[in-house]
Structure 1
């Protein structure tokens, strides 16, 4: 259970980082 929670937290933080990078790249391209 603890392993599942840590994996889920890492996965959600990774998605957040990807979204931020995509937003920055989008603003730079504009």
Structure 2
């Protein structure tokens, strides 16, 4: 179930606020 554990947080992040997701994604891609 390692895949499920990795997917669940992503769903929660993308499910809350799209704008916040974009900010987080931009930070991740910055690296």
TM-score normalised per structure 1: 0.44
Larger radius of gyration: 1
Higher relative contact order (CA 8 A, sep 6+): 2
